[in-house]
Amino acid sequence: MIAPLFHAWERRLASVTTNRVVRPFEWGLDWIPPNGHTSHPLQHIRGWVDEVMRDTTAFFDAPPTREYDVEPASADRRQRGEAGTLRFPSPITTPHAENNTVYARWFLPPQRGQKTRGLRRAVLILPQWNADAEGHVALARVLARVGISALRLSLPYHDARMPPELTRADYIVSSNLARTIQVCRQAVVDARRAVAWLAQEGYERIGILGTSLGSCLAMLTAAHEPRIRAQALNHVSPWFADVVWRGLSTAHVRAGLDGHIDLDTLREVWRPISPYSYLDRVRDVRTLLVYARYDLSFPVDLSRALVNEFSRRALPHEVTALPCGHYSTGAAPFKFIDGYVLTRFLMKNL
């Protein structure tokens, strides 16, 4: 009786966004080596994906940099717990100059000068797809208030990283297959450089929190970044392709894929950015899996499949099922429940 009500609410909330664009299907061969065209694009991209999967450590490698810069926050922002904005170059150079600088807003617990427990633990936050510059900032402030420093990362092609040709962050999830892989890869290596900065600042206990697309990218980061001790994954699925194929939020992306590729092939091609590929690499990472019972964007059977796989492999984890949908997670009272669950987990495990 409750599900139809939540599903109708989810569709209403999703319909508020009117600038979704159905983009043409592309293999994206210009985004992979060797660049250029081939008469067998699927065979070409399959060969590249097979090569990537043989050494994902190299694929998600983030070479160190000294080019970190922190711009202090304004007086108004400092009063609300924000210390400044971290900037550094992305390890991956894309054709869009705006996207090649990474931005992260930095929040500190009160009384930073004292030797408090909060000074030695920090969380990197990866917001949801198409989050604006304020997305998850309130959560970062909550974490800082409970003694955990928070670094809120802007994903590739989001807010300050978005080129003028875009109104949405379409290039990180789209019907261009190789570009989607490479831009998600960029998000992971950006996150690894942010973690390296936290370690450089003296943080000993580092966690990661991701929501929706951010949860997928957070798990990929935790699977390849040994300094991450705990991950809080907010809306989850084992497979990147299945969410795009079936989700309410990505119906316009599915429209661009239809008639060019089937789900099984898409799942195979997008293995490098699917959490399922890396489950055994998070065996030593404390994990929280959060899903919503009435989610139409991350269909609930996919979320439960990931939960079941964690259990089958005896991976350490906790599970919370929110009594709402995907979009309604951001509405009261569900956003407070979600925030409490995420914060409590990170306080306990860092």
pLDDT in the model for residue 113: 44
Q: Give the single-character DSSP code of 237.
A: -
Tokens of 327: 């979009």
What is the sign of the dihedral through the CA atoms of 202, 117, 140 and 280?
positive
Quick one: pLDDT band at residue 37, thresholds 50, 70, 90? low
pLDDT in the model for residue 33: 85
**What average pLDDT does this structure show over 45-67?**
97
Residue corresponding to tokens 């569709």: 11
Superfamily name and number for 2-13+25-349: Alpha/Beta hydrolase fold, catalytic domain (3.40.50.1820)
**What average pLDDT does this structure show over 236-255?**
98
The side-by-side arrangement of strands in the sheet containing 121-126 is: 69-72, 82-89, 101-107, 149-153, 121-126, 205-211, 228-234, 286-292, 317-322
- Per-residue pLDDT of 103-162, as tens digits, reads 999 999 987 544 444 458 999 999 999 999 999 999 999 999 999 999 999 999 999 999
**What average pLDDT does this structure show over 187-214?**
97
Q: How far apart are CA 112 and CA 119, in angstroms?
A: 7
- Whether the pLDDT of residue 186 is over 50: the answer is yes
Q: How far apart are CA 90 and CA 160, in angstroms?
A: 14
**N-term to C-term CA, the chain:** 40
Q: How far apart are CA 203 and CA 8, in angstroms?
A: 44
Quick one: pLDDT band at residue 39, thresholds 50, 70, 90? confident
Q: How far apart are CA 346 and CA 340, in angstroms?
A: 10
- Whether the pLDDT of residue 198 is over 60: the answer is yes
pLDDT in the model for residue 118: 45
Q: How many helices (H) and strands (E) does the chain have?
A: 12, 9
**What average pLDDT does this structure show over 58-71?**
97
- Whether the pLDDT of residue 232 is over 50: the answer is yes
Q: How far apart are CA 209 and CA 339, in angstroms?
A: 11
- Per-residue pLDDT of 268-297, as tens digits, reads 999 999 999 999 999 999 999 999 999 999
Tokens of 269: 């091609």
DSSP annotation string for 318-340: EEEEESS-SGGGGSTTHHHHHHH
Percent of the chain whose predicted confidence (pLDDT) is above 70: 97
pLDDT in the model for residue 36: 61
Q: How far apart are CA 322 and CA 325, in angstroms?
A: 8
- Whether the pLDDT of residue 226 is over 90: the answer is yes
Q: How far apart are CA 327 and CA 123, in angstroms?
A: 24
Q: How far apart are CA 52 and CA 68, in angstroms?
A: 29
pLDDT in the model for residue 117: 46
- Whether the pLDDT of residue 11 is over 90: the answer is yes
| CB neighbourhood size of 111 (10 A) | 11
pLDDT in the model for residue 115: 45
Tell me whether strands 149-153 and 121-126 are parallel, antiparallel or unpaired: parallel
pLDDT in the model for residue 336: 97
Quick one: pLDDT band at residue 197, thresholds 50, 70, 90? very high
Alpha helical stretches, state H, the chain: 2-15, 41-54, 56-59, 75-79, 137-145, 177-200, 213-224, 240-246, 251-257, 263-269, 300-312, 334-349
Tokens of 323: 């009594």
